[in-house]
Amino acid sequence: MKRKEKRLLQAVALGLTALVFLPNVGLWALYRERQLEGGPEGAEAAAAARAGVAQGQQRRPRKDIYFGDGQRRKDWHDKEAIRKDAERVGNGEQGKPFPLTDAERVDQAYRENGFNIFVSDKIALNRSLPDIRHPNCNSKLYLEKLPNTSIIIPFHNEGWSSLLRTVHSVLSRSPPELVAEIVLVDDFSDREHLKKRLEDYMAQFPSVRILRTKKREGLIRTRMLGASVAIGDVITFLDSHCEANVNWLPPLLDRIASNRKTIVCPMIDVIDNDHFGYKTQAGDAMRGAFDWEMYYKRIPIPPELQKPDPSDPFESPVMAGGLFAVDRKWFWELGGYDPGLEIWGGEQYEISFKVWMCGGRMEDIPCSRVGHIYRKYIPYKIPTGVSLARIRNVGTQLCIGTKHGAPGSPLRLEGCVKGRAEAAWSNVQVFTFSWREDIRPGDPQHTKKFCFDTISHSSPVTLYDCHGMKGNQLWKYGNDKTLYHPVSGSCMDCTESDHRVFMNTCSPSSPTQQWIFQYTNSTVLEKFNRNSDL
């Protein structure tokens, strides 16, 4: 064989080998693509079906796959928009607190949303925000060719201006070519403004779609419904009361472009639920964690793991939950969320653990910031029966309140506050009777970790750190309305005269041993339970 022919043959052989073995070209890639169609797409369709969406509905052709590293980078800042934002003046502009009068601080303002909707209504829908990113973020470059994203915003009875501000902030602070669509998914809201009025308003934005669940599904199945119809390369989940900050999107998509198994979270800033001032959470060098009770918390990153440049992405063991971006196909390869999850809480662990077990990673991205309104209290009904407001005593007509109950001190009775809104929350007359069979002040998600505790058949009932081990924190609610404590075999009792709550020999006919749990969710709870097939 001549030398030239030999070299040609060698080249052909090399090419063939590459075709077979290299992961991103040739046969493997073809094979993988085919697998994906049967797998994740199947999961996607199943999710759509479960969530009650007609299949094949509104599907548009897919964009080509995007490519990872090794490409040119560019500055994605929208300088013109930033300059215009800087010039804005007025209430709430630059993320400044709105000057509240006492009249605007009334309970009514918070009742429907858990934040002050009067103030929200007075602030521009496209208000400007302070750029509180690390200064290094200004000079960061991201891939010129980024995947686009569907932005999925589930909502249940969201306020008008808070929902619209979410959409406006996304539209005005995202490069249009990166937003494939914004999908608003209505989780069976009953407020009038979220119906035709919302549809009419959104008609001016061709990229906004509205979907609706057929029954109350809770946050998880609502997100899944949105994800199942998404057309973007990436899906980005936001809450319905957020404000995207300057250049928030490219840093997220850039990380996914270079590793599609990365789930990325923006830094979540705080929009005050009173005056709507915009500020950072305490400490940026924090990462997600959870304790033995599966409560999410942020803990400091150990110095040896901190990046030399604090504006660089860093890994987090668990994500915060609400706001993140994920490659769409990877999301379905992971199986999406477990559709049995109700309302919210715990979903971030489910997805985080799956990511770790399937070879992915989770990152927080300091140069991407999104504000979120942390509510004063949960305004909507939670239909699983774990949450309740007020424990009222039949004999005295007084309620258990824990505002002044320091841990260790006996529980006391106080006058029942009306309703389930702010007053009930600030007097801590709201309790959770959870699957752990303990009773704790606060709502099921953010509950204070104190539990009703008693040590003997005649001792006072105190608040003590929850141990989750039942024992002296285990309570049963009987048909006779007693709060029975199996360990001591006695019942919760109280006196009118000194308002103390203590244990006593059970005598179910005694009105001071009868307690009424007043659920936060009476009518909607009943409706939900009728509709729910679970």
Contact between 324 and ligand UDP per CB under 6 A: no
Beta bridge partner(s), residue 327 = 234
Distance CA 339, CA 349 (A): 14
Inter-CA distances, 302 with 265, 269, 287, 368, Å: 20, 22, 10, 22
- Identify the residue among 239, 272, 347, 422 touching Mn ion (CB under 5 A): 239
C-alpha 493/C-alpha 396 separation (Å) is 11
Residue window 352-391: x/- pattern of binding to ligand UDP, with contact defined by CB under 6 A: -----------------------x----------------
Which residues on neighbouring strands pair with residue 153, listed in sequence order? 184
Contact between 218 and ligand UDP by CB under 6 A: the answer reads yes
Nearer to ligand UDP, 222 or 447 (CB): 222
Give the nearest distance from C-beta 384 to ligand UDP in angstroms.
10
Query: Does residue number 343 form part of the binding site for ligand UDP (CB under 6 A)?
Result: yes
Q: 436 to 455, contacts with ligand UDP by CB under 6 A?
A: 445
Stretch that binds Mn ion, among 163-171, 174-182, 232-240, 348-356 (CB under 5 A): 232-240
DSSP per residue over 393-448, as a string?
ETTT--EEE-SS--TTSBPEEEPPPSSSSHHHHHTT-EEEE-TTS-EEES-TTT--
Instruction: Please say which residue, 227 or 503, places its beta carbon nearer to Mn ion.
Output: 227
Helix ranges (H only) for 126-282 are 160-173, 196-202, 219-229, 249-258
Residue 156 engages ligand UDP in binding (rule: CB under 6 A): yes
Nearer to Mn ion, 265 or 491 (CB): 265
Number of residues that bind ligand UDP (CB under 6 A): 15
Cβ-proximal residue to Mn ion, closest one: 239
288 makes contact with ligand UDP (CB under 6 A):
no
**And the tokens for 487?**
């360990």
Span interacting with Mn ion, options 136-144, 208-216, 234-242, 363-371, rule CB under 5 A: 234-242
Find the part of the chain contacting Mn ion (CB under 5 A) among 239-247, 305-313, 410-418, 504-512.
239-247
Report what 156 binds from ligand UDP, Mn ion, none; CB cut-off 5-8 Å by kind. ligand UDP
Give the whole-angstrom CA distance, residue 188 versus residue 127: 29
Rank residues 240 and 447 by Cβ distance to ligand UDP and give the closer one.
Answer: 240
- DSSP secondary structure string for all residues of 107-151: HHHHHTTSS-HHHHHHS-TT------S-GGGGG--EESS---EEE
Give me the least distance between CB of 374 and ligand UDP, in Å please: 7
For the CB of residue 323, give the shortest distance to Mn ion in the complex, in Å. 9
Judged by CB under 6 A, does residue 322 bind ligand UDP? yes
- Residue closer to ligand UDP by CB (options 131, 187) is 187
Provide the minimum distance between the beta carbon of 48 and ligand UDP in the complex, in angstroms, as a whole number.
Answer: 17
Token code pair at residue 481: 């309305």
The single-letter DSSP state of residue 459 is S
- Binder of residue 442, out of Mn ion, ligand UDP, none (CB less than 5 to 8 A by kind): none
Q: Which does 154 bind (CB under 5 to 8 A by kind): ligand UDP, Mn ion, none?
A: ligand UDP
Closest separation between CB of residue 228 and Mn ion, Å?
Answer: 22
Whether 359 contacts 264, CB under 8 Å: no
Residue whose token pair is 């039942």: 470
Give the list of residues 6+ apart from residue 477 with CB closer than 8 angstroms, or none. Answer: 433, 483, 484, 515, 517
